Chain A
Amino acid sequence: MSKRPMAILFDMTVCAGCNACVEACREGHGFSDGKDEIHELAADAYCSLNEKEDYSYRNLCRHCIAPSCASVCPVGALEKRPEGPVSYDAGKCMGCRYCVTACPFSIPRYEWDNPIPAVRKCDMCWDHVEQGGIPRCAEACRYDATLFGPRDEMLAEAWSRIEEDPDEYYAHVYGEHEVGGTSVLFLTPFPLEELGFQKRLGNESLPRLTWDVLDKIPGFAVTAAAGLMALGWIIRRRDEVGELEARIRTDRVTANSKEVRHDDRR
């Protein structure tokens, strides 16, 4: 079992739209209900296939290197494995759906109609990859459109395809840097944004945005507690002293006027 980070490379320019990946994926995950055309991800469809201008393109979880979904999960039900996949453990999940909200690619789906629901998304066939195998979709692909291998090799392959045929490709490997890099790489004939398939995402890893704030919390909590305690003590002390002085003054006044009556209830 290799711990080398693996990746899927999808090359849109050679995909024939044969749907073999979708079928293999659904069958392998036990969704054999005869529905085979998948245009939209769903709780029972981890990858989809769509067409645009004679090209077909897939959608699936990108298995981000710094996955938003795993970073937001309060119980660590989603986990980035050293081999590449972001896997999910329904037994831990409490169903807050923060992962669904947080994923920049809007990948995870929820089982809304199940009384015991789970989050559903491509798991890079973790059951196979864990054993050193390859994902079902890559296995099923006959056109070298979906490839699987170590991420550095997949990147090298992607760039060499671009260099060999620069007219065919848009010179960008999606996933090389987006949101800090992903373990699913896309080669396309035109910018992905033109598909309305993916918004322009920065190269910054998104979990950082949260972490920059969370990081400061332990220090803040300790300082705040100590500060408040000191503040409370000082203010109270000041008030007590003030009151004492006031009382001494009134005592003097009342003593002078020989009228011994004041209404201090303390």
Chain B
Amino acid sequence: MTTAARPLRLSVWRGVFYALMALGIVLTYIRFTQGLGAVSNMSDRYPWGLWIGFDLLCGVGLAAGGFVVTAAVYIFDLERFKPIVRPAILTAFLGYLLVCLALVFDLGRPWNIWHPLIMWNPQSVMFEVAWCVMLYSTVLTLEFSGMVFERLGWTKLVRYQHALTFPLVIVGVVLSTLHQSSLGTVYLIVPGKLHALWYTPLLPVIFFVSAVTVGLAMVIVESRLSSRALGRQLEMPLLSSVGHILSGLLILLVGLRFFDFWNCGQLATLFDFSYESRLALLELGPLLILPMFLLASPRVRNNTRWLYGAALLVVAGFIVNRLNVAITAFESATGGHYVPSFAEVGITLFIVALGFGAFTLAAKHLPVYPDEEKEEASSAVVTPPTAHAEAPNQRRRIAIPTS
């Protein structure tokens, strides 16, 4: 461990963190005393800006790892992924909390945020999303609570929580499938406003598949980040096999996107190098097809840096895709451009920083990552270093300390 560099780097990040907190508090005050117009560049032409495009659409997608990994482990019984379950649940739990926080900033009347509970409009996708997000946040809280109970040593509650795991996972997967795809359905009602490169009846499917993809990419990114910040991480063979599955999903996603362009007769538009076409190509080329090829190679998947780099590209591609749908796609129909204001970016960074802070705290104090010593010992016994990604159906019991 680089003894001198570490504290320095940490203190720089701590400084950034406190600066963002201070900025966030000031901007929050302005937002709630003077209205949305005072802090944002949103307008009647662009009623949805960065907070919907990034904080909501990307936030929900980036937190998809929670349901993908729990489904893999508890439904498909891929036990070797068990060490990923907790970090993925923690990320998802915090992710959804942050999305709700972002909504408090974005909604014009956030004090009415609970209204969908009693004022029903089942015709509205937004109503369905609201319910799914509320219920899924509850599921995540229950799944997350296991770590807290364990830490507090409340064995009885831990046992109850364990008994609930399977039904919770099922409910979580169904709810996630629904609202991840419904965020795409949200845009189906504006065929006249959304650019043809992004408007497609397949939007819900594309949203769902890309969310699953980015959820897995986030598992890799996070493990790397937490290894840097906390010295804790998941073992490389495990991450490589996540990369392997990710590469399969990317092939599926690329196939789906191009089938859709062909199906909607948009292949020519895609390559006409207009403003929209260039942004679409950015999202599809270097940020989707490139990582697809990279991850197809075992050399990349087995190299910590390359794997991390490829996963970062996938995450970036996902973000560009959602921003394209939420913002770029509207520009030709509504006219003009939308660029987020300083304060919109500031509040977004404030929320992201809160997320990082909360994750660090939780990873430090809760049993999120498998205990290192025991893990090393057990993996030395159970997993020979050569056996990993290439043998997906060869299941191994990795001794997880369940204390």
| A, B assembled together | yes
Chain A residues in contact with chain B, CB under 8 A?
41, 68, 71-77, 92-98, 100-102, 104, 106, 108-118, 199, 201, 206-207, 209-211, 213-214, 217, 220-221, 224-225, 228-229, 231-232, 235-236, 239, 263-266
| Cα distance A93–B188 in the bound complex, in angstroms | 22
Expressed in whole angstroms, the minimum distance between the Cβ of A161 and any Cβ of chain B is 28
| Cα distance A224–B45 in the bound complex, in angstroms | 39
* Contact residues in A for B74 (Cβ distance below 8 Å): 232
Asked if B124 is at the interface of the complex by the 8 Å CB criterion, the answer is: yes
B109 A93 Cβ-Cβ under 8 A = yes
* Residue in A93, A94, A232 whose Cβ sees the most chain B Cβ within 10 Å: A94
| Cα distance A174–B169 in the bound complex, in angstroms | 52
| Cα distance A266–B396 in the bound complex, in angstroms | 12
B42 A112 Cβ-Cβ under 8 A = yes
Expressed in whole angstroms, the minimum distance between the Cβ of A35 and any Cβ of chain B is 18
Q: Which residue of B lies closest to A221 (CB)?
A: B174
Expressed in whole angstroms, the minimum distance between the Cβ of A115 and any Cβ of chain B is 5
Chain B residues in contact with chain A, CB under 8 A?
32-38, 40, 42-45, 47-48, 71, 74-77, 106-110, 112-113, 115-116, 119-130, 166, 169-171, 173-174, 177-178, 182, 185-186, 188-193, 204, 333-334, 378, 381-382, 395, 397, 399
A228 B112 Cβ-Cβ under 8 A = no
B33 A75 Cβ-Cβ under 8 A = no
* Contact residues in A for B170 (Cβ distance below 8 Å): 225, 228-229, 232
Q: Which residue of A lies closest to B40 (CB)?
A: A112
New A-B contacts (10) at CB < 8 Å, excluding given A112-B43, A114-B35, A265-B399: A71-B123, A74-B126, A74-B129, A93-B112, A94-B116, A117-B35, A206-B190, A214-B128, A221-B178, A265-B397
Expressed in whole angstroms, the minimum distance between the Cβ of B112 and any Cβ of chain A is 4
| Cα distance A190–B48 in the bound complex, in angstroms | 34
A199 B192 Cβ-Cβ under 8 A = yes
* Contact residues in A for B397 (Cβ distance below 8 Å): 264-266
A101 B112 Cβ-Cβ under 8 A = no
| Cα distance A220–B204 in the bound complex, in angstroms | 14
Expressed in whole angstroms, the minimum distance between the Cβ of A235 and any Cβ of chain B is 5
* Contact residues in A for B129 (Cβ distance below 8 Å): 74
A209 B191 Cβ-Cβ under 8 A = yes
Please count the residue pairs between chain A and chain B whose beta carbons lie under 8 angstroms apart in the complex. Answer: 174
* Residue in B43, B192, B382, B397 whose Cβ sees the most chain A Cβ within 10 Å: B192
B48 A101 Cβ-Cβ under 8 A = yes
**Known contacts A209-B189, A228-B75, A97 near B47 by CB under 8 Å:** yes
* Contact residues in A for B36 (Cβ distance below 8 Å): 110, 112, 117
* A73 in complex: contacting residue of B113, B124, B190, B192, CB < 8 Å: B124
**Known contacts A68-B189, A112-B37, A232-B74, A214 near B47 by CB under 8 Å:** no
| Cα distance A197–B116 in the bound complex, in angstroms | 35
B109 A95 Cβ-Cβ under 8 A = yes
| Cα distance A106–B119 in the bound complex, in angstroms | 25
A94 B109 Cβ-Cβ under 8 A = yes
* A74 in complex: contacting residue of B124, B174, B190, CB < 8 Å: B124
| Cα distance A99–B59 in the bound complex, in angstroms | 22
| Cα distance A202–B115 in the bound complex, in angstroms | 33
Expressed in whole angstroms, the minimum distance between the Cβ of B70 and any Cβ of chain A is 11
B109 A71 Cβ-Cβ under 8 A = no
- 30 inter-chain pairs at a CB distance below 8 angstroms, sorted by A residue, are A68-B190, A71-B189, A73-B124, A74-B130, A75-B127, A77-B119, A92-B112, A93-B109, A94-B108, A94-B110, A95-B108, A96-B126, A97-B108, A98-B124, A110-B47, A112-B42, A115-B35, A117-B108, A199-B192, A206-B190, A207-B123, A209-B191, A213-B204, A214-B122, A225-B174, A228-B71, A231-B76, A232-B76, A232-B169, A265-B382
* B191 in complex: contacting residue of A97, A112, A206, A217, CB < 8 Å: A206
Expressed in whole angstroms, the minimum distance between the Cβ of B144 and any Cβ of chain A is 21
B185 A213 Cβ-Cβ under 8 A = yes
Q: Which residue of A lies closest to B33 (CB)?
A: A115
A100 B44 Cβ-Cβ under 8 A = yes
B109 A113 Cβ-Cβ under 8 A = no
Expressed in whole angstroms, the minimum distance between the Cβ of B362 and any Cβ of chain A is 28
| Cα distance A264–B35 in the bound complex, in angstroms | 63
| Cα distance A115–B105 in the bound complex, in angstroms | 11
Expressed in whole angstroms, the minimum distance between the Cβ of A220 and any Cβ of chain B is 8
B112 A217 Cβ-Cβ under 8 A = no
Expressed in whole angstroms, the minimum distance between the Cβ of A90 and any Cβ of chain B is 8
Expressed in whole angstroms, the minimum distance between the Cβ of B210 and any Cβ of chain A is 17
Q: Which residue of A lies closest to B111 (CB)?
A: A94
Expressed in whole angstroms, the minimum distance between the Cβ of A47 and any Cβ of chain B is 15
Q: Which residue of A lies closest to B78 (CB)?
A: A235
**Known contacts A95-B108, A210-B189, A232-B77, A76 near B48 by CB under 8 Å:** no
* Contact residues in A for B191 (Cβ distance below 8 Å): 206, 209
Closest 7 pairs between A and B when the two form their complex, measured CB to CB: A95-B108, A112-B37, A100-B47, A94-B112, A74-B126, A97-B47, A74-B127
* B77 in complex: contacting residue of A100, A109, A221, A235, CB < 8 Å: A235
* Contact residues in B for A114 (Cβ distance below 8 Å): 35
Expressed in whole angstroms, the minimum distance between the Cβ of A229 and any Cβ of chain B is 6
Expressed in whole angstroms, the minimum distance between the Cβ of A264 and any Cβ of chain B is 8
* B116 in complex: contacting residue of A75, A117, A220, A228, CB < 8 Å: A75
Expressed in whole angstroms, the minimum distance between the Cβ of B254 and any Cβ of chain A is 24
Expressed in whole angstroms, the minimum distance between the Cβ of B178 and any Cβ of chain A is 6
Expressed in whole angstroms, the minimum distance between the Cβ of A122 and any Cβ of chain B is 14
* Contact residues in B for A199 (Cβ distance below 8 Å): 192, 333
Q: Which residue of A lies closest to B378 (CB)?
A: A265
* B75 in complex: contacting residue of A41, A210, A231, CB < 8 Å: A231
* Contact residues in B for A265 (Cβ distance below 8 Å): 378, 382, 397, 399
